[in-house]
Each structure stands twice: as structure tokens, then as C-alpha cells.
Amino acid sequence: MELEPELLLQEARESVEAAQSYRRELGQRLQGLREARRQIKESASQTRDVLKQHFNDLKGTLGKLLDERLVTLLQEVDTIEQETIKPLDDCQKLIEHGVNTAEDLVQEGEIAILGGIGEQNEKLWNFTKKASHIQLDSLPEVPLLVDVPCLSAQLDDSILNIVKDHIFKHGTVASRPPVQIEELIEKPGGIIVRWCKVDDDFTAQDYRLQFRKCTSNHFEDVYVGSETEFIVLHIDPNVDYQFRVCARGDGRQEWSPWSVPQMGHSTLVPHEWTAGFEGYSLSSRRNIALRNDSESSGVLYSSAPTYFCGQTLTFRVETVGQPDRRDSIGVCAEKQNGYDSLQRDQAVCISTNGAVFVNGKEMTNQLPAVTSGSTVTFDIEAVTLGSTNNNEGGNFKLRVTISSNNREVVFDWLLEQSCCSLYFGCSFFYPGWKVLVF
């Protein structure tokens, strides 16, 4: 009976904790509702502004086009009028000149006739001589009304119905975009963005991905194509970025509304090649290495052991040079200077001819030859720690998967000591090879 108050107190405490937890959960849901309401309100306001701006621009453009067409047609009227009036003006001048000549001749003839016969014979003789030189029976030809232009405007009223039909169908309001970002996966110096369709009735032809730092007001295009996955590189570690995607329907020119922006970041240190190696030129971010014309040879290693088991290490061959069987792209437990290739102990690699080497030994299985645009990936997982029951001397076993050109090889790699972080490296004997690592 003495324990009952303690049990009641414990039960009361548990009830208070449960109520507090319940209150926190409800508070989070209220916050989610506030964010959902804010998204609806803000997107509705933005959509109204976009619609108003678009239709105002459309009205201005249509008005400008109609004014330009009106000016063109009026110029055509002016041109036809001027070109067809000129011959009539010339004919009018000729007729007016004939009228004046006839009036002068009439006046002169009447005077000569009033003088009678006799002393006026000379005036009559001069008048008749002058009249005989004027072609009083020659009349200029005046065109008939059916032979001269009668201008009119040909206007098709059906254009109003056509325009009305297009206007009534112009624009749509979507309650949600047809594509959404599905997943953001952090990579060293990059983020893999995956998206998917959420509208089954929408047939996508192309996708458009944009990103920006959260401190920026401007999104940048980073990918346009038909794939639904893309790795965005040049990501600074521990910096928040926003991503959004839209799609273009099959056979259409306009893009769909943007997806809801998603925020992501990478906590992984970017992979970098070691700077200052004579045989290789590096990009500003040191994630791209180009084999230059230097006669110096050897393995270009990473600046630090930044590859960890459980991650995916990717090499993308941007350009190629002349291949050599001693070429190598791979990972190793430690840097060892003095070697020309990763085809050595404590390293796994692939040669440019597709041969796979484990601790310096060539495997029977082989991958396709490396070409421009090839992507080589390494996935390594720890299998066992401690001593092994074999005579190979390894006490740390790793399961390695190397993939290239849609083919892969899987094998176990035995190391002499435990190693959770690895170096990566490459070696090429001829210039022209350029490799991006991420």
C-alpha cells in the first residue's frame, strides 16, 4: 500500500511526458499546416501576378502588331493611289492645254469673221492657216471607270473567331506541377538530384533542372535532357542549396510549372587531386586532372584519403589520349611514390584497355575499354576485420565493385592492415587524358 503513491506519481509523470510529447507533435503538425497554407497563398499570389503580367504583355504586343499591320495596309493604299493618279493628272494637263488652245482659237476666229471680207482678208487667211495646223479632231483618250482602280479593303471577319478560340484556350492553371524532386543524395563536392513524374497524364519529353545557393536570388540552369537524375558538381561543403525541376510536354515548346524547391547540402569533403605534380594540369577546384605533355611519369594521387568505404567513387573520362596497358584508374590504401602505375600491391584499378588489377595481379574478368565519356565507379564495403583463414596474408577484407559502360566486376580485396579511408589515383603514359573525380 505504501508503494501506491509512488506508482501514482510515476504514472502521473509518464502522463505529463506523454502530454508534452503529444503537444510537441501537434505543434510540429501545426507548423506543417502553416507552411502548407503559406505555400498555397504565396503560389496563388505569384500565379496571379504572372497571369496579369503575361496578359498585359500579350495585349500590348497584340496592339503593337495590329498597329503595324494597319500602317502597312495604309501604305499600300497610298502607293496604289499615287501610282494610278499620276497618269490621270498627266491626261488632265493635256486636256486643259487643249481647252486653252481651243478657246484662244475661237476668240481669234470670231474676231476675224467679224471683220468681213475686204481689208480683213489677211486676218482670215492667217486664222485659217493657223487653224489648219491645230489638230482639232485629235482628242486624248480618257480611261473608262472600269479600267481604273477602285480601292477596297478585304477583311476576313473569321479572324475574330480564330483569335477568340486561341485566347479562350491560352494558358492553364495547375494546382501542382507534373514533376517533383524525389531525392537528394550528397556526394563529395556534389549532390545527386533525382526527380519523378507525379502526373500520370503528363508525357514528358525533356526535363530542366535549376539550382542556387540559398543566399542567392537567382536560379541557374544546370541540366536539360530526358534523364531523371543528374549530379550537380561544384557544390561547396556545408552550404545549403535549393533545387527545382520542370518538364516540357511531348511536342510542346513551353515548360511546365516549377516543382516545389527542395533544399540540400553535402557534408562530404570534395575529392581533390594532389597539386604540383609535373605530369598533370588541374582545374581550379582540383577535381579534374589533365595529362599534359610533360615527360614526367608516375601516379597522380588524391590530396588526402577522402574516399570512405560505403560510398561510391566516380571517375568520368572527359577526353582520351593514346592508351597504354600500364594506364590505371583506381584506389589504394596508401601513397607509394616511385611507381608508374596503380597496378601494384595494396591497390585496385582498371586500365584503359579494361583490364582489372587487384594487388598488382590481373583478373580474368575484364571490363570494356575506357573511351571518351566513360564513367568508372568504385563501390567498396568492409566485409571482415581481423585475421583470415587463408595464406594470402590479408587481415582486412573489402568487397569491391567496379562498374564501367554498363558492366561490372565484383571481387574481394585483401589488405595488410585495416583501412577505412582510401586514396584514389590515376596514371597515364600519353597526354590528352582528362579525368573528373566525384
Per-residue pLDDT tens over the stretch 277-314: 889 999 998 999 999 999 888 999 999 999 998 889 99
Is the confidence at residue 343, as pLDDT, over 80?
yes
Is the confidence at residue 353, as pLDDT, over 70?
yes
Please state the rounded mean pLDDT for residues 217-236.
Answer: 93
Mean confidence (pLDDT) of the chain: 88
What is the structure's pLDDT at 189?
Answer: 87
Is the confidence at residue 238, as pLDDT, over 60?
yes
Query: Can you tell me the distance from the alpha carbon of 380 to that of 382, in angstroms, rounded to the nearest whole number?
Result: 7
Query: Can you tell me the distance from the alpha carbon of 359 to that of 361, in angstroms, rounded to the nearest whole number?
Result: 6
Q: What is the 8-class DSSP label of residue 134? A: S
What is the structure's pLDDT at 1?
Answer: 46
Superfamily designation of domain 179-265: Immunoglobulins (2.60.40.10)
Query: Can you tell me the distance from the alpha carbon of 9 to that of 414, in angstroms, rounded to the nearest whole number?
Result: 59
Query: Can you tell me the distance from the alpha carbon of 126 to that of 395, in angstroms, rounded to the nearest whole number?
Result: 144
How many other CB atoms are there within 10 angstroms of residue 153's CB atom?
A: 7
What is the structure's pLDDT at 155?
Answer: 87
Q: Is the pTM here over 0.85, yes or no? A: no
User: Grid coordinates in use for 279?
Assistant: 605530369
Query: Can you tell me the distance from the alpha carbon of 284 to that of 405, in angstroms, rounded to the nearest whole number?
Result: 28
Superfamily designation of domain 280-437: SPRY domain (2.60.120.920)
What is the structure's pLDDT at 388?
Answer: 46
pLDDT tier, 116 (very low <50, low <70, confident <90, very high otherwise)? low
Kindly state the helix (H) or strand (E) to which residue 318 belongs, with its residue range. strand 312-319
What is the structure's pLDDT at 92?
Answer: 87
Per-residue pLDDT tens over the stretch 56-113: 999 999 999 999 999 999 999 999 999 999 988 888 888 888 888 888 878 877 777 7
pLDDT tier, 131 (very low <50, low <70, confident <90, very high otherwise)? confident
What residue type is assigned to position 254 of the chain? E
Query: Can you tell me the distance from the alpha carbon of 135 to that of 41, in angstroms, rounded to the nearest whole number?
Result: 92
Please state the rounded mean pLDDT for residues 369-375.
Answer: 93
Per-residue pLDDT tens over the stretch 381-438: 988 755 445 444 446 889 999 999 889 999 999 887 777 789 999 999 999 999 999 9
Please state the rounded mean pLDDT for residues 165-184.
Answer: 88
Q: How many residues does the chain have?
A: 438
Burial class (CB in 10 A: 0-12, 13-18, 19+), 97: exposed
Please state the rounded mean pLDDT for residues 166-193.
Answer: 89
Q: Which of 125-134, 167-176, 378-387 tops mean pLDDT? A: 167-176
User: Grid coordinates in use for 307?
Assistant: 574516399
What is the structure's pLDDT at 391?
Answer: 44
H helical segments located in 242-379: none
- Write the secondary structure of the chain as one string of H (helix), E (strand) and C (coil): CCCHHHHHHHHHHHHHHHHHHHHHHHHHHHHHHHHHHHHHHHHHHHHHHHHHHHHHHHHHHHHHHHHHHHHHHHHHHHHHHHHHHHHHHHHHHHHHHHHHHHHHHHHHHHHHHHCCCCCCHHHHHHHHHHHHCCCCCCCCCCCCHHHCCCCCCCCCCHHHHHHHHHHHHCCCCCCCCCEEEEEEEEECCEEEEEEEECCCCCCEEEEEEEEEECCCCCCEEEEEECCCEEEEECCCCCCCEEEEEEEEECCCCCECCCCCCEEECCCCCCCCECCCCCCEEECCCCCEEEECCCCCCCCEEECCCCEECCCEEEEEEEECCCCCCCCEEEEECCCCCCCCCCCCCCEEEECCCCEEEECCEEEEEECCCCCCCCEEEEEEEEEEECCCCCCCCCCEEEEEEEEECCEEEEEEEEECCCCCEEEEEEECCCCCCEEEEC
Angle subtended at Cα 81 by Cα 75 and Cα 85, rounded to the nearest 5 degrees:
155
Proportion of the chain above pLDDT 90, given as a percent: 55
Domain ranges in the chain?
A: 11-169, 179-265, 280-437
Per-residue pLDDT tens over the stretch 133-164: 777 777 888 888 888 888 898 888 888 888 88
Cβ partners under 8 Å of residue 6, min gap 6? none
Dihedral sign (CA 143, 144, 146, 151): positive
Please state the rounded mean pLDDT for residues 260-288.
Answer: 92
Query: Can you tell me the distance from the alpha carbon of 294 to that of 281, in angstroms, rounded to the nearest whole number?
Result: 10
Per-residue pLDDT tens over the stretch 304-333: 999 998 889 999 999 999 999 999 999 999
Q: Do domains 179-265 and 280-437 have the same CATH topology?
A: no
Instruction: Of 128-137, 244-253, 413-422, give the lowest mean pLDDT range.
Output: 128-137
- What angle, 0 to 180 degrees and rounded to 10, lies between the N-to-C axes of helices 121-132 and 4-114? 140
Is the confidence at residue 246, as pLDDT, over 50?
yes
Q: What is the 8-class DSSP label of residue 247? A: E
What is the structure's pLDDT at 90?
Answer: 86
